[in-house]
Structures are given as structure tokens and as C-alpha cells.
Chains A and B, each alone.
Chain A
């Protein structure tokens, strides 16, 4: 749903937008007593895990499901990303799954009966050099072939859309043009998680927080349940949807995954007048910025260079990102950084996710979304639910199997996506 309130008129101030947020009901999902056994246990109560549980219940009629979360609901990457939604990926496989996801986003609020502030305010991806222009145009033509809305904007057209942007040639990274996906946008991430949690809970899914999975009960190469910090839970099938901790879980289940866990940081400014009514991304200079509904500027930085599970990154990464952002948006020099934070992203060698079967029977994996998983939340849950319900992948996630690293059918989105995934 396009929320017309989110087509931002200049001069509307943050406070009024904040006041427009509806009241939350006292309880969105049921507090349940954990059962000893479930048909399906989903490990990881973030957006993707909750969406998986919801679509298992809704699309496949399976409701004897527990979502087991070691911390609190959606306290990991779901709460830490910059909420950008788009589907203009280069390769057919990626374009298909992300476009499926974007189509789901477009009706998600009606489907779940829950406001998520999904706002199709458009996503601009800047090109800063001749080779950048070539690769972005290649991406654009690939999108056209896949029926994905995407257009080329000249620097002047970019300036018209984003009046605060600096299109001077006399900067380190001049704007040579941009691709624009009008159907792209943002949503309110917490609300997305709460919406899925509420809808899943209403359909009978148990959401169990504060319960860490410490091992798998695997007999005859078949998963029988999970060991947790609160005792063992028997399960017919288990789905691992644990983002940054996927390697840890896969090791517990006895198979390796080609994933490296890295910190990825983001930051927000205090609430400001509306100055930016679209999403601006630049892979080349590691800037991606939007202005959220209340008026804060939300910016993503790059990943730290090294493996980490610390959910924090180096400040030099933030400095590097802000230096580039200030050159693009000189007006930001007067804004302050309110808060920075980090999440742990699970990066695959080809920057594409792994969704499908594992070497262990009835154990399924959904991981490796790296720096760009939020946009895929609905589509990821949809195909993961299909995979678990049928014991075989959906047409859309077949190419994203774990064995592509053996067959060599990689889906290399590094060039197209860069860090600003």
C-alpha cells in the first residue's frame, strides 16, 4: 500500500509526523507456555523467522509451530538495518526473489491487518564514474528485461528529485547520473516484525523469546529437535533463520556454511525538518540515506573489515561514511549524529543468500542475506515456508541452494550491490 501521507510535503515537521503514529495495543502476540514438541521449530525470531512462521500457517495450514528466539523478538538485524526496500537486482535469480518480495510488500499491510508505514518513495542509486554509469545501465537493462521498474536519471533530474544533493563536477565523487526505482522505499522495521508476530500468533504460532538454541538433536542424520537454554524441544522439522549466527548454528548441526560474520553499522540524526523524500544510495562511496517518518535521517555505513560477533564497529567506518555523505549533501554538515549502532551480517562469497535444504534431513537453512536482508523479509519467509512445508525448495529459491558453492552456479551480486545492498 502506498501511504499517501508519506509523500512528504516540505515544511511538515517531525513532531507532527510522530504524533500521527497510531497507539499500540497492550499485547500483540500471546505469551505462551512452551510445549514439549512442535511440528516445526523456527530458530530465530527476527523478521525472516517470523515471516516464515506466518506463511507456514497462512499458506500451508501448518500451525503447530514455535519460533525460538535467544534474545527478544526482532532485536537483531531486523531492528538494526536502514529499512531500504527495492528489487532492482542484476541477475534473474535475485531479481525474481526480490521482486516477489516487493510485490508482497505492496499488499502486506492489508494482508497482515497491521500498519507498517511501507512507503514507496523511490530509491535512487547513484553512479559516480564512467564505469559506474556503465554497470548501473547494464543493471537497468537487466531490470527492464525482468519487468522491474527502473529508470535512468541525469544529474539534473537527480537534482530535481533531491534538491539538497550536490551535483557539482568539482567533488571527489561527482554524480554522473542514477538509476531510480519508483516502487522502492522504506518501512518501519519494528512494525514489520510486530505485524508478522501478531499475525503468526493469531494463527496459533508460539513465539518463545529468551530461549537460546544450544544444539540440535540429530539421529540418523535426521533432526529430531533442538536443545535450548530452557530444555529440549522436539520438532519434526527445524528451520534455521539466524542471520549473523548462522555459522554457529550450522556448526552445531555438523556442517559448514560459506558465511563470514561482519559488523555493519548505521546511524541516525535527531528529528529534522523534511529535506529528503526519497532513498539515496551510493555503493561507490558507501552512503545510503533516507529520512524516516518522524524526520530522523537514517544512514548506513560500510561493514568493518574483519569477522565479528560484537554488534559494534569501528568509528572510523562511520567517519568515512559521513565524509562522503557530507560531500553529497552539504546541508547535513549542520546535523548531529544522535546514535550509531552495529548489527552482525552474514556474508556469503557471492553476496547472495542461502535458502534451502541442508545435509541434515528435515533441517532447513535461510541465511547469508548479508547487508541487504530487510527488503527480502516477506519473500524470504514465503519461500522458506514453502521449502519447509514441502521438503523441497520453491521455484524462486532453487538457485539459492547451499550446493551452488559446489556446482559453481554462484549468483554474484557484489558488483551490482556493493556494500549498499
Chain B
């Protein structure tokens, strides 16, 4: 069970949240895109081995979406931040195979 710091409600159990995968994926203009770029927007999300900035919604609390740095190997929790605000620095290297994360 992760303990997740909701920016509005504080530290809560993971079971109060839903996951939203990679954060900060901007909605593109569908008319200005090639099919491959649209496919990328629809289906490709970051899946690093290491630190990932990701979205969560606190459905059993404030009901609001926020972003969170979390390590996908150690499950360490980094800083949480609100959408459309400046992203805090990654707590470590964005993990790649063979790199220390």
C-alpha cells in the first residue's frame, strides 16, 4: 500500500486514488497531426524504470487530479504538484536500463 501525498488532503492510502499514467501529455490538435502522431498521443505513455511523473486522482477525497513523482523500481514517493504548475525537478535520474535510479 502506497501512502500518497494529495496536495489538497495530505497523506492518504493508495486505495483512495485512481491512477492516470504519465503526467503532462498535452492534448494535440487532431486535425494537424499525422496518424502516427495521433496514435502516439492515444497509446504511448512513458514507462521508465525509475522516476516517473504521473497523474493520480483522489477520488475518495477531494476528487481532484494532481501529479506526482514516483520511482517505479523502489516505489519511493517524490514531490506532488498541481497540473499546469511548474514541475519540480525529478528526485533522481529518469531511469534507464543499466543506470542507477
Closest A residue to B75 by beta carbon equals A310
- CB-CB < 8 A to A257: which residues of B? 44
* Contact across chains for A248 and B1 when beta carbons are under 8 A apart: no
- CB-CB < 8 A to B100: which residues of A? none
B24-32, B45-53, B82-90 - interface stretch: B45-53
* Contact across chains for A248 and B73 when beta carbons are under 8 A apart: no
A260 vs chain B, min Cβ distance (A): 5
Max chain B Cβ within 10 angstroms of own Cβ: one of A305, A309, A316, A349: A309
B79 vs chain A, min Cβ distance (A): 17
B40 vs chain A, min Cβ distance (A): 7
Contact pick for B72, options A249, A252, A309, A406, CB 8 Å: A309
Given A214-B98, A251-B96, A306-B19 in contact, is the A258-B14 Cβ separation under 8 Å? no
Given A307-B54, A307-B72, A308-B75 in contact, is the A406-B39 Cβ separation under 8 Å? yes
* Contact across chains for A214 and B47 when beta carbons are under 8 A apart: no
Given A256-B44, A259-B47 in contact, is the A314-B2 Cβ separation under 8 Å? yes
Closest B residue to A256 by beta carbon equals B44
Given A256-B40, A258-B43, A261-B72 in contact, is the A305-B18 Cβ separation under 8 Å? yes
* Contact across chains for B14 and A314 when beta carbons are under 8 A apart: yes
Encode A275-317 as 1/0 by CB contact (under 8 A) with B: 0000000000000000000000000000001111110001110
- CB-CB < 8 A to A306: which residues of B? 2, 19, 54, 70, 72
Encode A233-271 as 1/0 by CB contact (under 8 A) with B: 000000000000101110110001111110000000000
- CB-CB < 8 A to A315: which residues of B? 1
* Contact across chains for B52 and A406 when beta carbons are under 8 A apart: no
* Contact across chains for A307 and B52 when beta carbons are under 8 A apart: yes
Give A207-230 interface residues, CB cut-off 8 Å to B. Answer: 212, 214-215, 229
Q: Is A405 interfacial (CB-CB < 8 Å)?
A: yes
* Contact across chains for A245 and B49 when beta carbons are under 8 A apart: yes
A215 vs B98: C-alpha distance in the bound complex, in angstroms? Answer: 9
Q: Is B93 interfacial (CB-CB < 8 Å)?
A: no
Given A256-B44, A314-B1, A405-B39 in contact, is the A305-B73 Cβ separation under 8 Å? no
Encode A173-215 as 1/0 by CB contact (under 8 A) with B: 0000000000000000000000000000000000000001011
A395 vs chain B, min Cβ distance (A): 24
B41 vs chain A, min Cβ distance (A): 11
Interface size class of B (residues with CB under 8 A): 20 to 34
Closest A residue to B39 by beta carbon equals A406
Contact pick for B42, options A214, A215, A248, A405, CB 8 Å: A405
Given A245-B49, A307-B21 in contact, is the A212-B43 Cβ separation under 8 Å? no
Contact pick for A316, options B1, B18, B49, CB 8 Å: B1
Give B4-18 interface residues, CB cut-off 8 Å to A. Answer: 14-15, 17-18
Given A261-B72, A309-B73, A406-B36 in contact, is the A252-B43 Cβ separation under 8 Å? no
Closest B residue to A316 by beta carbon equals B1
Give A351-398 interface residues, CB cut-off 8 Å to B. Answer: none
Given A308-B75, A310-B74, A349-B43 in contact, is the A249-B21 Cβ separation under 8 Å? no
Max chain A Cβ within 10 angstroms of own Cβ: one of B19, B35, B54, B97: B97
Contact pick for B14, options A215, A261, A305, CB 8 Å: A305
* Contact across chains for B1 and A247 when beta carbons are under 8 A apart: no
Q: Give chain A's interface residues, CB within 8 Å of chain B.
A: 212, 214-215, 229, 245, 247-249, 251-252, 256-261, 305-310, 314-316, 349, 405-407
| 5 examples of A-B residue contacts, CB within 8 angstroms | A212-B97, A260-B21, A261-B72, A308-B75, A349-B43
Other than A257-B44, A309-B73, give 4 A-B pairs with Cβ distance below 8 A: A212-B97, A214-B97, A260-B47, A406-B39
